[in-house]
Amino acid sequence: MVLRKARGVFGIGAVDASPSRTSESEAAALCHTYEDLGLGFFWSTDAEGRLSYLSPGAHALLVGEGTATGQSFLELFLKTGNESEGERTLPFAFARKGRFEKITVRSERADGETLWWAISGEPIIQRGEFAGFRGHCEDITGERRSAEESSHMAMHDALTGLLNRRRMSQLLERTLTLCSQQRSPCAIMLIDLDRFKQVNDTLGHAAGDALLKQVAARLVRVVGDKEKVSRLGGDEFQVIMPGIDDRGVLGDIATSIITSISQPYTIDGSRCLIGASVGVAVSPFDGDDSDSLVRNADLALYAAKGGGRGRFRFFSADLLKAAADRRLLEEDLHDALQRDELEIHYQPVVRAEDNHVVGVEALVRWNHPEHGPVSPARFIPIAEESNLIKGIGEWVLRRACEEVSAWPGGLRVAVNVSPVQFADDGFPALVASALANSGLEPERLELEITESVFLQEGGATNERFKALKGLGVRLALDDFGTGYSSLGYLKTAPFDKIKIDQSFVRGATEAGSRNRAIIAAIVALAQALEMDTTAEGVESFDQFDLMKSLNVTLVQGYIYSQPIPNAEFVAKLNEGNWTIEPSGPAFQRHDRQAMFRRIGVIHDNHYYPVVLRNLSVSGALIEGLVDVPMGTEFVIDLGEGQLAVARVRRSRKRQQGLEFEQALVSDGNGGLCTRHRASPYQLAAAGLPQSPKGDGVQPIGPHLIGGGGEDGKASMPAFAMASDWKGAVLRVDP
């Protein structure tokens, strides 16, 4: 009878036994053996659910010291507010007083370890009355952990522990579906490591793996949530940020990611320096499904890398055209040297204490036969990516030495050296050849080298420095402190000058800025090392006065002169000992980007085509409306849902100077954008064109809502507050 119970309830079906062949004592012995082997355990309770029997093995795991008899069986297991479906079922099964099988429950040992159990039982009926339960329990902790581990491995990257591509894809799909239902935004960032391949090639794949783990940890610290970060594979990562469309906030996060990843690493005693580029796309503006959103973030990432790496870029609709233009520009750049389209302009470097010109920086310029002057910010990154930079760099070095050697006086010329050039073993020989062919004295040549040349530490870098100093040329550390700085190399690298990057100069006079303290520290460091200092990008008198008060040796910037062609420079030198009186605005102004671009402005439910002539963080100059009264409020439509509230602060005939209600933010690529965008739903509801058409006055819907206020949904203001303008249609310049 006992053995029959063992077969029916406890599942011991391996023995074909019956009362006629096996005694009850033999059945009990088999049950004890089953328990001793750890295959499972038995239990029984009375009608109130109190234990009357518990196998010794289960007793040790569930009770520990003391006796189990009389304890509530249910109270041996955890009951929390987050109970699983199985845990809620066990009390229900007891209440039903019926048979149940393999209900999953948890218990906790005295040392805090959680155990998982599969509980089965059937009621004991005596004289027709319920007398308790008799059942079986099995420790399934190992199986449970194995299943959880397998599930985790299927959804997480084995190396970094971050979500993997498959899991992130599923998460992004679900998040975008939810955001679409709620009409809320979702941002994604694609992150690609710069110069990671160098680590793998020089230190090995084990070092590369260790570096990726550290990168993952830094990403999680910046983002603040491990479940929003994934490794897509190789050195590519992705971050998802639901509910965020503020591009000021997103730009700050992207900058923090780049800064964090760019800090030095130590791998097995070796110092590694890498960088990062970030592409950002936001739904629904840049795509309302995962495929389009990821594709557009990837385009933004490509643009960020093409713009010089170590930066972020927001997606914009013109990136597709920009990619095509970039390919054409690269083809033309191949022929620019042969066609004599490149030239050098020289920007004076001036001693701040007496305004005396003591040197120049040689800056390459490209005058395209069709497009006219092409910004170095556009063609230098193309040259670096397409391996044209070595040829262009050699041309600049030789041409600068030739032209400067013919100048009267002894001005020094500074020439920028790309990391690719510096890494070439033949670079010292090239410098020697340029000096010999031009006849320029070596001490008049200054080579500007960025900190990125120290990404690969070792004897080759030191030997190259030694060879260059052996030629008698001067060395300047360019863009100090902008991403890869370390004081370690200053102990051995033979620099004569430290250049203070213009990013520190521009913000130094702003309230609350720490740039002043940074500049003071750089100057003190340079003085201690007996080096000169040059402040770049000085444009206003408040900046100039600050640089002088901080004892910066030399100043370079529009406060003295913009870069000028060789012939014009020679004419200035022929006048004799050249001094320049500083000239510029009293205070730092936000950069104004000159342009000729058709946009739209909204006033009193009418949409007007205008031309945008310049744009800054705080305002814009538009052209196309006639004699607009001061104080008139507009909404400026910059395209792609970018709407900015502005007020007329200057009006003269057909031009209006506007001040934005909320400052624009950086788009990560030298341009500007609004913090928020009106979604396609809002644009359609307002009857606003999806992009400025420039084809006459258009009436639009009476209601338009855009982001950007304190609550994130500031409504656009009522226009034409002046009584003489209310309800009027503005006069458009013919």
More confident of the two residues 65 and 114: 114
pLDDT of res. 581: 93
* Of 104-113, 171-180, 460-469, 540-549, the least confident: 104-113
Q: Are residues 450 and 539 in the same domain?
A: yes
Q: For residues 334-349, give the mean pLDDT.
A: 92
The answer to whether the CB of 464 falls within 8 A of the CB of 427 is yes
In a domain, 329, yes or no: no
586 band by pLDDT with thresholds 50, 70 and 90? confident
Share of the chain above pLDDT 90, in %: 41
CA distance 572 to 560: 13
pLDDT of res. 724: 38
Given a cut of 60, whether residue 164 has pLDDT beyond it is yes
**Which among 85, 113, 142 is the end of a domain?**
142
Q: How many domains are there within the chain? A: 4
Angle at 271 (CA atoms; ends 269, 277), nearest 5 degrees: 140
Q: Catalogue the E-assigned strands of 569-696.
A: 593-603, 606-615, 619-623, 633-637, 643-652, 655-660, 665-666, 672-673
Q: Are residues 444 and 473 in the same domain?
A: yes
Q: Are residues 412 and 499 in the same domain?
A: yes
Q: Phi, psi at residue 613, to the nearest 5°? A: -95, -35
* Of 91-95, 406-410, 646-650, 685-689, the least confident: 685-689
More confident of the two residues 667 and 398: 398
Q: Is 727 helix (H, G, I), strand (E, B) or coil?
A: coil
Given a cut of 70, whether residue 17 has pLDDT beyond it is no
In a domain, 226, yes or no: yes
Given a cut of 90, whether residue 444 has pLDDT beyond it is yes
pLDDT of res. 257: 95
CA distance 718 to 720: 7
**Which among 112, 142, 172 is the end of a domain?**
142
325 band by pLDDT with thresholds 50, 70 and 90? confident
Q: Are residues 160 and 278 in the same domain?
A: yes
Enumerate residues 6+ apart whose C-beta is below 8 A from 734: none
Enumerate residues 6+ apart whose C-beta is below 8 A from 291: none
pLDDT of res. 696: 55
684 band by pLDDT with thresholds 50, 70 and 90? low
Distances in whole angstroms, Cα of residue 664 to Cα of each of 186, 195, 328, 515: 20, 32, 31, 21
Q: What single string gives the DSSP state of each residue in 522-545?
A: HHHHHHHTT-EEEE----SHHHHH
In a domain, 449, yes or no: yes
CA distance 114 to 140: 11
Given a cut of 80, whether residue 183 has pLDDT beyond it is yes
CATH classification of the domain holding 685:
2.40.10
More confident of the two residues 381 and 84: 381
CA distance 660 to 645: 6
Q: For residues 275-297, give the mean pLDDT.
A: 92
pLDDT of res. 621: 92
In a domain, 102, yes or no: yes
pLDDT of res. 666: 83
Q: Are residues 137 and 162 in the same domain?
A: no
In a domain, 722, yes or no: no
**Which among 110, 142, 174 is the end of a domain?**
142
pLDDT of res. 733: 58
pLDDT of res. 232: 92
- Beta strand 186-194 with 275-283 is antiparallel
pLDDT digits (tens, 9 = 90+) for 533-571: 999 999 999 999 999 999 999 999 999 999 999 999 888
3-state SS record for 285-330: CCCCCHHHHHHHHHHHHHHHHHCCCCCEEECCCCHHHHHHHHHHHH
Per the structure, the complete domain to which residue 174 belongs is given by 156-317
Given a cut of 60, whether residue 86 has pLDDT beyond it is no
Given a cut of 50, whether residue 40 has pLDDT beyond it is yes
589 band by pLDDT with thresholds 50, 70 and 90? low
Q: Are residues 27 and 57 in the same domain?
A: yes
In a domain, 705, yes or no: no
Q: Are residues 204 and 105 in the same domain?
A: no
Enumerate residues 6+ apart whose C-beta is below 8 A from 591: 616, 617
pLDDT of res. 296: 92
In a domain, 706, yes or no: no
Q: For residues 616-633, give the mean pLDDT.
A: 90
Given a cut of 90, whether residue 277 has pLDDT beyond it is yes
Q: Nearest-CA neighbor of 507 among 588, 562, 619, 561?
A: 588
CA distance 446 to 367: 26
CA distance 451 to 521: 18
Q: What single string gives the DSSP state of each residue in 414-467?
A: EEEE-HHHHHSTTHHHHHHHHHHHHT--GGGEEEEEEGGGGGS-SHHHHHHHHH
More confident of the two residues 6 and 339: 339
Q: Are residues 180 and 231 in the same domain?
A: yes
In a domain, 543, yes or no: yes
Q: Are residues 414 and 530 in the same domain?
A: yes
More confident of the two residues 731 and 329: 329
3-state SS record for 478-518: EEECCCCCCCHHHHCCCCCEEEECHHHHHHCCCCCCCHHHH
Share of the chain above pLDDT 70, in %: 83
Enumerate residues 6+ apart whose C-beta is below 8 A from 180: 283, 284, 288
Would you give the DSSP letter of residue 560? T
Q: Are residues 492 and 527 in the same domain?
A: yes
Question: Which pTM was predicted?
Answer: 0.57
Q: Are residues 375 and 449 in the same domain?
A: yes
Q: Are residues 401 and 541 in the same domain?
A: yes
Copy the structure tokens of residue 396. Answer: 């600049």
How many residues are there in the chain?
A: 734
CATH classification of the domain holding 208:
3.30.70.270
| Range with the largest mean pLDDT of 218-232, 314-328, 692-706 | 218-232
The answer to whether the CB of 104 falls within 8 A of the CB of 86 is yes
Question: Cis omega before residue 284 (within 30°)?
Answer: yes
Given a cut of 90, whether residue 357 has pLDDT beyond it is yes
pLDDT of res. 156: 85
Distances in whole angstroms, Cα of residue 479 to Cα of each of 261, 435, 518: 18, 25, 13
Q: Nearest-CA neighbor of 563 among 359, 261, 370, 345?
A: 345
Q: Phi, psi at residue 725, to the nearest 5°? A: -110, -15
User: Tokens 């209900």 correspond to what residue?
Assistant: 103
pLDDT of res. 12: 37
209 band by pLDDT with thresholds 50, 70 and 90? very high
Q: Is 586 helix (H, G, I), strand (E, B) or coil?
A: coil
